[in-house]
């Protein structure tokens, strides 16, 4: 029973979001007549036996509002910090790209729902990939998902480093054994080490609790920017250029990353009480997020002009109390994400370990591997502390495939006998557009990252 639950959880990919994990370990069970009754505090309902669990999986209990909140929580994250920077560098005309990508990603989320309708047994993004293209489809989609998770964690750590410098400006720390590390790097190492024990957690409900404040943190950042503009601390009087065509490939990755979340949408679909409303949920969620991104982008660009930072929180007046709240919200968010993002790796790793190993030994192995992985992420973040370039590369290299190319390709393959010609052309155009955007964006952001690294090492 527990093994089945853990394997089903292993199918659930996680993002930089606040989607609560729906399936948790049952610590105390009293089995009677095929029903396992669990009392886990925040968990609603009961964990059923295999047949009952399958029936429950087919009929979720998530309401329309709950689904909208979950999907919005999946979308709002690191991307919102960089939208003012992207708009300023791309010109105000690039907002049409931002909005257009919102429409496209709304459609591709609708397409994912259609793919799930084709095969009700599909429960995850990787399942859809396997249904469409076999085992190779599952491996490819899973690979892209884990690459995005890894690169997102690097971006989170860079964000943690940048905002800690601002929050703790003036602080000086020197350790005798590590003279080459600057104070900001030492503070980041300490922060990551504080978050490190969370990777040893096996109780998935505890991991879910760590990530539950994501939407609140995002709203705090948004409100901070609005209040800074509204109360006259910074005048929004900078002019925004119309269009910088040469910057479009690089900033397209930042825009695409803002809508990255599709690989969790199948789980949201399965959790809904009325899956037929999934398209409406997508429309409401993407419209809300697009409005938030657009508003934040124009506000930040108008307030700070060419001086706008890739992370808008770093532009806010440091002496304001609300700025300190926004900065701490940006600092705490990455520290709560490590365990949640590592969960798919940890569960898959533990499932692949020999059954002969004790539970304690499995815990030690997964904790050790997680610790090593986090230290690798920390090393990369400190070696490549260029938030906008890493985020843009992530969006162009990985997110565009997950958000645009893969869903359309899945839909064409699964619906081939019945798909109409206009819909076929539309999805083929999306695949082509996503491929062009991804290739050009990856080349552009990679070149900028390399140039920045070479410039930094030459000084």
pLDDT tens string 67-118: 888 888 778 878 889 999 999 999 999 999 999 999 999 999 999 999 999 8
Q: Distance (Å, rounded) from C-alpha 291 to C-alpha 294?
A: 5
The token pair that represents 275 in the structure block: 């899956």
For residues 269 and 107, the answer to whether their CB atoms sit within 8 Å is no
Answer yes or no: are the C-beta atoms of 412 and 424 closer than 8 Å.
yes
- Per residue in 381-420, pLDDT (tens digit) is 988 889 999 999 999 999 999 999 999 999 999 998 889 9
Q: What mean pLDDT do residues 217-241 have?
A: 84
Task: Determine the distance from the C-alpha atom of residue 194 to the mean position of all C-alpha atoms in its chain, rounded to a whole number.
Answer: 22
Q: Say if CB 294 and CB 95 are below 8 A apart.
A: yes
Mean predicted lDDT score pLDDT of the chain: 80
Give the per-residue pLDDT at 445.
Answer: 94
How far apart are the two ends of the chain, measured CA to CA in Å? 59
Region 7-19 average pLDDT:
40
Task: Please check the confidence at residue 44 and state whether its pLDDT lies above 60.
Answer: no
Q: Residue 50 — very low, low, confident or very high, per pLDDT cuts 50/70/90?
A: very low
pLDDT value of residue 184: 74
Would you say 300 and 51 are in contact if contact means Cβ atoms under 8 Å apart? no
- Per-residue pLDDT reduced to its tens digit, 331-379: 887 777 777 677 667 767 777 788 888 888 888 888 888 888 888 999 9
Residue 54's pLDDT band (cuts 50, 70, 90): very low
Find the range with the poorest average confidence among 146-160, 178-192, 273-287, 423-437. Answer: 178-192
With 0-12 / 13-18 / 19 or more C-beta atoms within 10 angstroms meaning exposed / middle / buried, residue 453 is middle
Query: Domain 62-458 is classified in which CATH homologous superfamily?
Result: Amino acid/polyamine transporter I (1.20.1740.10)
pLDDT, position 195: 80
pLDDT of residue 226: 87
Position 449 scores a pLDDT of 92
Nearest CA to 333 among 141, 459, 143, 157? 157
Which pLDDT score, from 0 to 100, does residue 43 have? 31
> Per-residue pLDDT averaged across 30-44, rounded?
39
Are 326 and 315 contacting, i.e. CB atoms less than 8 angstroms apart?
A: no
- Position 207 scores a pLDDT of 52
| Sequence ranges of the domains in the chain | 62-458
pTM: 0.80
pLDDT tens track for 317-342: 888 888 888 888 888 877 777 776 77
Instruction: Give me 122's structure tokens.
Output: 């599909």
Query: Is 90 exceeded by the pLDDT of residue 133?
Result: yes
Residue percentage of the chain with pLDDT more than 70: 80
401-402-403-408 Cα dihedral, nearest 10 degrees: 70
- Reply yes or no on whether the pLDDT at 140 is more than 90: yes
Residue owning tokens 């939407």: 215
CA-to-CA distance for 203 and 45, rounded, in angstroms?
18
């Amino acid at each position: 029973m527990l093994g089945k639950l853990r394997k089903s959880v292993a199918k659930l990919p996680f993002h930089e979001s606040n989607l609560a994990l729906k399936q948790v370990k049952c610590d105390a069970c009293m089995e009677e007549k095929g029903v396992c009754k669990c009392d886990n505090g925040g968990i609603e309902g009961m964990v059923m036996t295999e047949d009952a669990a399958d029936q429950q999986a087919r009929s979720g209990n998530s309401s329309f509002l709950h689904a909208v909140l979950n999907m919005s929580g999946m979308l709002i994250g690191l991307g919102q910090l960089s939208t003012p920077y992207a708009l300023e560098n791309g010109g105000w005309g690039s907002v049409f790209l931002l909005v257009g990508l919102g429409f496209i990603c709304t459609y591709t989320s609708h397409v994912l729902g259609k793919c799930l309708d084709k095969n009700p047994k599909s429960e995850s993004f990787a399942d859809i990939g396997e249904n469409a293209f076999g085992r190779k489809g599952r491996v490819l989609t899973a690979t892209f998902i884990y690459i995005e998770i890894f690169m997102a964690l690097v971006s989170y750590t860079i964000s943690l480093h940048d905002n800690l410098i601002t929050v703790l400006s003036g602080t000086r720390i020197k350790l005798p054994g590590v003279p080459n590390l600057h104070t900001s790097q030492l503070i980041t190492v300490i922060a990551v080490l504080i978050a490190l024990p969370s990777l040893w957690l096996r109780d998935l409900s505890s991991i879910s609790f760590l990530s539950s404040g994501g939407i609140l943190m995002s709203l705090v950042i948004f409100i901070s920017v609005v209040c800074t503009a509204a109360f006259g601390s910074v005048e929004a009087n900078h002019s925004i250029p119309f269009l910088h065509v040469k910057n479009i490939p690089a900033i397209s990755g930042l825009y695409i990353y803002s809508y990255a979340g599709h690989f969790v949408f199948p789980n949201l679909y399965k959790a809904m009480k009325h899956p037929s409303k999934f398209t409406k949920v997508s429309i409401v969620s993407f419209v809300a997020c697009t409005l938030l991104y657009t508003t934040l982008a124009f506000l930040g660009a108008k307030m700070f002009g060419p001086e706008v930072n890739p992370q808008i929180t770093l532009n806010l007046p440091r002496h304001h109390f609300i700025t300190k709240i926004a900065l701490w919200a940006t600092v705490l968010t990455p520290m709560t994400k490590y365990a949640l993002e590592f969960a798919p790796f940890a569960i898959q790793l533990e499932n692949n370990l020999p059954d002969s190993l004790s539970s304690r030994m499995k815990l030690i192995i997964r904790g050790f591997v997680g610790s090593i992985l986090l230290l690798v992420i920390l090393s990369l973040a400190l070696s490549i502390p260029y938030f906008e370039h890493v985020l843009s590369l992530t969006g162009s290299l990985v997110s565009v495939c997950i958000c645009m190319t893969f869903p359309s390709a899945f839909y064409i393959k699964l619906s081939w006998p019945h798909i109409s010609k206009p819909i076929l052309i539309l999805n083929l155009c999306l695949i082509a557009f996503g491929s062009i955007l991804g290739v050009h964006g990856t080349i552009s952001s990679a070149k900028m990252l390399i140039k920045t690294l070479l410039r930094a090492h030459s000084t």
